[in-house]
Amino acid sequence: MEKAIKKSSLKVSENGLEKPTAAGKPVSTKRLEVMKTYKIYIGGQFPRTESGRYYIPTNAAGKKLANVCLSSRKDFRDAVVAARGAVSGWSGRAAFNRSQILYRMAEMLEGRKAQFIDELIQQDATKAKAEKEVNLSIDRLIYYAGWCDKFQQLFSSVNPVASSHFNFSVPEPTGVVSIIAPQGDLPAGRQGSLLGLVSVIAPVIAGGNTCVVLASETKPLCAVTFAEVLNSSDLPGGVVNILTGKPSELASWFVDHMDVNATIYCEKDSTVQKMIREKSALNLKRISLYDKINWYSEEGQSPYFIMDTQEIKTTWHPVENIAGAGGGY
Amino acid sequence: MVKAIAKKKSNTIKLNFDTSWSYAPAPESKSAATINKQYDLFINGEWQKPLSKKYFDTINPATEEKLSEVAEAGVADVDKAVKAARNAYDKVWKKMPAKERAKYIFRIARIMQEKARELAVIETLDGGKPIKESRDFDVPTAANHLFYYAGWADKLEYAFPNRRTESLGVAGQITPWNFPLLMAAWKIAPALATGNTVVLKPAETTSLTTLKLAEIIQEADLPPGVVNIITGAGETGAAIVNHADINKIAFTGSTHVGKIIQRAIAGTNKKATLELGGKAANIIFEDAPIDQAVEGVVNAIFFNQGHVCCAGSRLYVQESVAKEVIRKLRDRMQSLIVGDPMDKNTDIGAINSKEQLHIIQKYIAIGKKEGAEMYESSCALPSKGFWCRPTIFSNVAQSNRIAQEEIFGPVLSILTFRTDDEVIEKANNSPYGLSAGVWTDKGSKIFNMTKRMRAGVVWANTFNKFDPTSPFGGYKESGFGREGGLHGLLPYLNLIN
């Protein structure tokens, strides 16, 4: 084939590739854009929903954003299995290592900044707002990367018990956390489908938990792209699992599951809040409601968010003969 | 004496308690305590007749004799108590300088210490626990708890970095019957130190020491309404939980009731601390100091008749030492003195109530039916009152109900294991996660185990130790929130940026 094509007959087309012409006539070709398939993220893989369902979110102008997976209860259960499987490995890592991985996530996000800005613009943000949101999201990851190996020191204690024991209390991750991320629909600039997502995931995994997250229903693009960032950040598969779909369908499963230890909900819907708190009684999930947080402000980040999915463990051990030891100095 | 010591084949010496060993009675005197014939409700600093007009009896579970009768608070009484607490919060307690608040709590602690003997006697008469436990553990620890939190009142700005704190308002508190006075102190002390006011209900079988605490609070001149103590059973508790003007619920009791409370407050802004049931794994490795471990097991399961939410009720013994541990445990059980709780030598007192005795007996029957091997000490039991011999089940399977469910009595389930990973898997395979224990001589193994066990309190080479400075509370279905220590402040505060 190649031999048959004479150099003189090659012309450079619009898209920069050389292509042959027939009988010297130029072929008019406009490059067909490759559209991205927005899939879900479970156990470090990008499957489609097992249900085979999809939905089509649109922007304010009514433009179709994508065919997005409409995740099912079964997808959630698969994701919980992946998240549970990842708990011991992730919580067992050195806090320093978790810190490095969160930092790596920030690096990857920085590197793909343009793509996120583009997606936010597709979802109705202005360029300035989109840039601000991505920058804040990157900085938020850096912020929590720094906390990974420090919050324990802040919230631990050595307890001066009156008996002859050494006694200390330390925070430990609660386990698997289900998160219904900020939906990003509320007053422009207040919520962010990316910033909100990053702001709720980061403290949970900084503390050694794993999670299953339901992305914004109406603005899901950045969540899926963020999964690609996670996938290339040395974050072990299963630590963060991201589903797309409808909170109205999935919220109750997020809090029903007996192998989930904590649930985070970020919307103001008081009916859902009540449902979540009621169902949490099933296995006494820890519930955090972040409906009043402005993720753009200083209050959108603090080590207290990490503590919301931590347990305090107190350990005792006898100290030999402390009373009778006399002066050892 | 010589006859009493028989040499076994091994190098351990077995004591024979069947022969000449007996203790002369050493009873504590009932006269050390004043118990009124009838108790009203302590609302707004005064003793008030219940609007419900109802009273119920409280008995001594060791003799089944009536000790007193106690008011049963109805919905209207609860409302009265909450109003008094709200009023005291708004008008007095919230505005009081923190250091003055502290001094009131110190004062209550001091009067408790002064009345320690009386409180111990009443605790034992009303609840059936051995006098040596109420005297040496319940009462002093309760007073120490108040003393500890009193000092926090004017130091809260140091407790939470970069945050200011504010009190919540009125705390509704419901305490269990196993450590009545101590649990009241656990609840009242941090609530007052953080600037909240209190409506507290003790369990219906053991109201008396909490009512005595109300007298102490009155004697301490605590402003009226800051602490209100109302008595009653489940319905009174429900009225507290459902009252619209309560900001926080603190409950210690069963996981079943804890879940009901969690559902009941779902649509409200009430905060909650739940300290619920447990089925603690207590693990003995072959390299453990066996004699000490056996003592630890006895303390873990037979302390307070096993009426302890953090009791070490699942014993995991490494196979190589299982025979030895069980033999020594049986011998040690035989030497436990079961009987009159007022006797200073008594190790195991009366079961708290007839209802609880039935629950324990039900589980013993289940254990036998499930095929586990039962052994109980051969001690004689008094003819009146509610009693249960110390009991162990060996050859228990992980799936047996006596290995899964909380019995809340002097009944131990023994299982065996071979490897670290196996025992961690088994120990954590429980919906509960309140406490755990491990016995080994190897330091690195201790940290390996204590880190991997999913429980809020982990005892290594010890068990059932408590201290006001030490946070207590569970993982998983054993509840949430902590009581004790710095961490015990947070459940009673809002943090503000």
Beta strand pairing call for A210-214 and A240-243: parallel
Q: What is the CATH number of domain B33-276+478-496?
A: 3.40.605.10
Enumerate residues 6+ apart whose C-beta is below 8 A from B295.
B332
Confidence label for A3 from pLDDT (cuts 50, 70 and 90): very low
Q: Do B460 and A316 touch (CB under 8 A)?
A: yes
Q: In chain A, which residues have their Cβ closer than 8 Å to the Cβ of B266? A: 274-278, 280-281
- Neighbouring-strand partners of residue A167: A316
Alpha-carbon distance A97 to nearest alpha carbon in chain B (angstroms): 18
Place of tokens 């609530």: B191
Whole-angstrom Cα distance, residue B68 to residue B129?
18
Contact (Cβ atoms closer than 8 angstroms) between residue A214 and residue A181: yes
CB contact under 8 A, B471 and A159: yes
Q: Give residue A18's identity as a one-letter amino acid code.
A: E
pLDDT > 60? residue A13: no
Record: contact A278-B144, CB cut-off 8 A: no
pLDDT for A8 equals 45
Residue A196 CB burial class (10 angstroms; 0-12, 13-18, ≥19): buried
Q: What is the pLDDT of residue B15?
A: 65
What gap in Å lies between CA B89 and CA B170, rounded to an integer? 7
pLDDT for the residue numbered B366 = 98
Pick the catalytic residue: B204, B275, B477, B483? Answer: B275
* DSSP codes joined into one string, B355-403: HHHHHHHHHHHHHHHTTPEEEE------SSS-----EEEES--TTSHHH
B19 Cα distance to chain centroid: 36
Q: How many degrees, rounded to 5, is the angle at CA B374 between CA B129 and CA B342?
A: 15
pLDDT band per the 50, 70, 90 thresholds, residue A184 = confident
Query: How far are the Cα atoms of A77, A181, B197, B256, B349 from residue A284, in angstroms, in the given order?
Result: 19, 21, 26, 11, 33
Mean pLDDT across A99-103 = 98
Average pLDDT of the residues in A39-65: 96
> Which residue from B109, B120, B111 is spatially nearest to B28, judged by alpha carbons?
B120
Give me the amino acid identity at B14.
K
- pLDDT tens for the 497 residues of chain B, in order: 444 444 445 555 666 666 666 789 999 999 999 999 999 999 999 999 999 999 999 999 999 999 999 999 999 999 999 999 999 999 999 999 999 999 999 999 999 999 999 999 999 999 999 999 999 999 999 999 999 999 999 999 999 999 999 999 999 999 999 999 999 999 999 999 999 999 999 999 999 999 999 999 999 999 999 999 999 999 999 999 999 999 999 999 999 999 999 999 999 999 999 999 999 999 999 999 999 999 999 999 999 999 999 999 999 999 999 999 999 999 999 999 999 999 999 999 999 999 999 999 999 999 999 999 999 999 999 999 999 999 999 999 999 999 999 999 999 999 999 999 999 999 999 999 999 999 999 999 999 999 999 999 999 999 999 999 999 999 999 999 999 999 999 999 999 98
Q: Is B379 marked active-site?
A: no
Q: In which order are the strands placed within the sheet that holds B65-71?
A: B38-39, B65-71, B55-60
Domain B281-468 fold is Aldehyde Dehydrogenase; Chain A, domain 2 (3.40.309)
User: CA-to-CA distance for A240 and A44, rounded, in angstroms?
Assistant: 8
State whether residue A258 is helix, strand or coil. coil
Three-state SS at B81: helix
**Could you give the angle at which helices A195-206 and A95-111 cross, rounded to 10 degrees?**
160
- Which positions in chain A have a beta carbon within 8 angstroms of at least one beta carbon in chain B? 154, 157, 159-163, 165, 167, 169, 174, 261, 270, 274-278, 280-284, 286, 298-299, 302, 304, 311-318
To probe the interface with A, which of B141, B249, B432, B487 has the most A CB atoms within 10 Å? Answer: B487
**Is B485 in Cβ contact with A284 (below 8 Å)?**
no
pLDDT in tens, A204-217: 999 999 999 999 99
What confidence score (pLDDT) does residue A6 get?
47
- Return the structure tokens found at A98: 């978790």
pLDDT at B23: 85
| pLDDT score, position A183 | 87
Q: How many residues does chain A have?
A: 329
Q: CB distance B467–A161 less than 8 Å?
A: yes
Radius of gyration of chain A (CA): 25
Test A316 with B458 for CB contact under 8 angstroms: yes
Interface of B with A in 151-180 (CB under 8 A): 161-163
Q: What distance in Å separates residue A274's CA from the closest CA in chain B?
A: 5
The question of whether B275 is a catalytic residue gets the answer: yes
Q: Coil, helix or strand for A40?
A: coil
A241 close to A213: Cβ distance less than 8 angstroms: yes
Q: How many angstroms away from the CA of A265 is the closest CA of chain B?
A: 14
Set of chain A residues whose Cβ sits within 8 Å of the Cβ of B255: 284
Measured between beta carbons, the chain A residues lying within 8 angstroms of B481 are none
Residue A5 has pLDDT above 50, yes or no: no
A-interface mutation test, from B141, B467, B486, most A Cβ less than 10 A away: B467
B28, B309, B310, B379: the catalytic one is B309
Q: CA B414, B420, B426, B427 torsion: positive or negative? A: positive
- Interface touch A277/B497, C-beta < 8 Å: no
pLDDT of residue B19: 62
pLDDT exceeds 80 at position A24: no
Contact B485 A169 (CB under 8 A): yes
Nearest to A154 among B161, B259, B476 (CB): B161
Cα gap B113→B107, rounded to integer Å: 10
Average pLDDT over residues A225-230: 98
On whether the CB atoms of residues B297 and B329 are closer than 8 A, the answer is: yes
User: Are A282 and A304 a contacting pair, CB within 8 Å?
Assistant: no
For position A21, what pLDDT does the model report?
A: 58
* pLDDT for A29: 79
- pLDDT for A189 equals 46
Phi/psi-derived region of residue A189, left when phi > 0, alpha when psi is between -120 and 50, beta in every other case: left
Rounded-to-integer distance, Cα A131 and Cα A117, Å:
6
Asked if ipTM goes beyond 0.85, one says: yes
Mean pLDDT taken over chain A: 90
Q: Is the pLDDT of residue A188 over 50?
A: no
Residues of chain A found within 8 Å of residue B479, distances taken between Cβ atoms: 284
Residues carrying CATH 3.40.309.10, chain B: 281-468
Taking CB atoms and an 8 Å cutoff, what residues of chain B touch A298? 497
- The answer for residues whose C-beta is within 8 angstroms of residue A34's C-beta and 6 or more apart is none
CATH number of the domain located at residue range(s) A54-317 in this protein:
3.40.605.10
